[in-house]
């Protein structure tokens, strides 16, 4: 998994990525990292009871989320995917509204734990805590896309732990049978909380399982945002062209404990964590940007300061936002009139609110 500082040759142009693309990818990765550092600070201050870290997964997430088309494709992330959601359109403030459980939390209005992402407007499917349950949803959305004749794609993200669940197997099998326009992305950080990969499976690479479902699998360096992007770009094109699903395994590492409730010293040595940090995806990407002359240390420092200020502002705004009304807890058990996602509604971003299914007829 070890990755050395990249050579100076240009690896991004051939991928169709401009210098600006690279810079905004870098900014997104760094924003996620800064939000992470902030949320742990807030946790220590007693202002955030529960934190789910992303640090270490930024390249895998930004690289695999980037090839999707906003406003058209669908994102089915899991709790670790802050950076996926930032790519999809979440703002730092949105992140902290969720962290503080505020009424304006776009995911759930303060109902769910932090990092349980969702936004119909942005095409991010609401997520739950039970591992792997979202993967069959992705297959179903992909089926609907194909059925409706869209040329859109849905991607789902999950950890290595999720691959052990029956739902994971059933979802991939269904997608393979119908050659659905979807990509399955495994963020393999080698642990399911404390359970090491060796106790989760008897294979070196989880991507080998794709063969059993009749579609290709690939394993890439998840610390390398360009490698992650390249693999995903191919998979998305494959899906969009009607050739079917792909399973992409991105090898990465979780720098912090599983959550603010975890103590990873019980199952990982500090040396192991330090070793992994040498491949910090943001560090590596920064080095690449410098090596190809897109930026320099001074510019990068400027970006960090600018983003840091933004994140601090987001924290203040979110902190001062209103809490949900206690009585609001009884709402939305069932639909409240046609304003809510009902028959005819769709996860597609931009789709207007659900129409009643009474208006039947042709699709669209």
Residues found near Mg ion in the complex (CB under 5 A)? 159-160, 189, 191
Shorter beta-carbon distance to another protein: residue 57 or 116? 116
202 binds a copy of itself (CB under 8 A): yes
The residues in 46-75 that bind another protein, with binding defined as CB under 8 A, are 49-50, 74
Q: Which stretch binds another protein (CB under 8 A): 65-73, 222-230, 293-301, 320-328?
A: 320-328
Beta strands across the sheet bearing 182-188: 74-76, 154-159, 182-188, 246-251, 217-221
Q: Which is nearer to a copy of itself, 176 or 257 (CB)?
A: 176
On the CB side of 328, CA atoms within 13 Å amount to: 12
Give the pair of three-digit tokens for residue 21. 């693309």
Based on the shown chain and the rule CB under 6 A, indicate whether residue 54 belongs to the binding site for ligand TPP.
no
Report DSSP state, residue 176.
Answer: H
Q: Does 193 bind ligand TPP (CB under 6 A)?
A: yes
Q: Is 33 a catalytic residue?
A: no
Active site residue 137: no
214 binds, among a copy of itself, ligand TPP, Mg ion, none (CB under 5 to 8 A by kind): a copy of itself
b or e along 45-84 (b: 16 or more beta carbons within 10 Å of the residue's beta carbon)? Answer: eeebeebbbbbbbbbbbbbbbbbbeeeebbbbbbbbbbbb
Cα separations in angstroms, 222 against 53, 172, 185, 188, 248: 16, 21, 11, 8, 10
Site for ligand TPP contains 362 (CB under 6 A): no
Question: Residues 12, 254, 256, 288: which is the catalytic one?
Answer: 254
* 258 belongs to the catalytic site: yes
CB of 190 to another protein, least distance (A): 13
Nearer Cβ to ligand TPP (120/258): 258
How many Å apart are CA 103 and CA 326, to the nearest integer? 10
Cβ 53 vs Cβ 256: under 8 Å: yes
Does 341 engage in binding with another protein (CB under 8 A)?
yes
Does 129 bind another protein (CB under 8 A)? Our answer is yes
- Residue 161 beta carbon to ligand TPP: minimum distance, rounded to whole angstroms: 3
Q: Nearest 5 degrees, angle CA 129-CA 135-CA 138? A: 120
> Per the structure block, which two tokens stand in for 343?
């028959």
- 343 binds a copy of itself, rule: CB under 8 A: no
Which residues in this chain contact a copy of itself in the complex, by CB under 8 A?
A: 164-170, 173, 176-177, 179, 198-203, 208-209, 211-215
Which residues are tagged catalytic?
254, 258, 267
């Amino acid at each position: 998994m070890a990755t050395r500082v990249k050579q100076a040759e240009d690896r991004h142009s051939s991928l169709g990525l401009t210098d600006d693309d690279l810079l905004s990818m870098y900014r997104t990765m760094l924003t996620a990292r800064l939000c992470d550092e902030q949320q742990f600070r807030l946790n220590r201050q007693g202002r955030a009871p529960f934190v789910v870290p992303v640090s270490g997964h930024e390249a895998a997430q930004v690289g695999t989320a980037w090839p999707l088309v906003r406003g058209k494709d669908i994102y089915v992330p899991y709790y670790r995917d802050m950076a996926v959601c930032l790519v999809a359109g979440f703002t730092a403030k949105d992140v902290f509204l969720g962290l503080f459980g505020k009424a304006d939390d776009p995911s759930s209005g303060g109902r769910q734990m932090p990092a349980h992402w969702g936004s119909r407007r942005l095409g991010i499917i609401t997520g739950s805590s039970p591992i792997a349950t979202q993967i069959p949803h992705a297959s179903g959305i992909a089926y609907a896309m194909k059925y409706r004749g869209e040329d859109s794609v849905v991607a789902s993200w999950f950890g290595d732990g999720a691959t052990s669940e029956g739902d994971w197997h059933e979802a991939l099998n269904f997608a393979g049978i119908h050659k659905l326009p979807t990509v399955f992305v495994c963020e393999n950080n080698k642990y399911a909380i404390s359970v090491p990969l060796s106790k989760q499976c008897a294979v070196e690479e989880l991507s080998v399982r794709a063969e059993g479902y009749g579609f290709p699998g690939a394993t890439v360096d998840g610390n390398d945002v360009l490698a992650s992007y390249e693999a995903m770009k191919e998979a998305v094109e494959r899906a969009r062209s009607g050739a079917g699903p792909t399973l992409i395994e991105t090898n990465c590492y979780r720098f912090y404990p599983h959550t603010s409730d975890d103590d990873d010293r019980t199952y990982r040595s500090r040396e192991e964590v330090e070793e992994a940090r040498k491949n910090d995806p943001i560090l590596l990407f920064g080095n690449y940007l410098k090596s190809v002359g897109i930026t320099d240390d001074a510019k990068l420092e400027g970006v960090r300061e600018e983003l840091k200020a933004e994140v601090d502002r987001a924290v203040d705004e979110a902190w001062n936002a209103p809490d949900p009304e206690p009585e609001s807890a009884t709402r939305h058990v069932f639909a409240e009139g046609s304003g809510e996602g009902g028959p005819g509604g769709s996860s597609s971003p931009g789709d207007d609110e659900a129409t009643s299914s009474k208006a039947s007829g042709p699709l669209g």
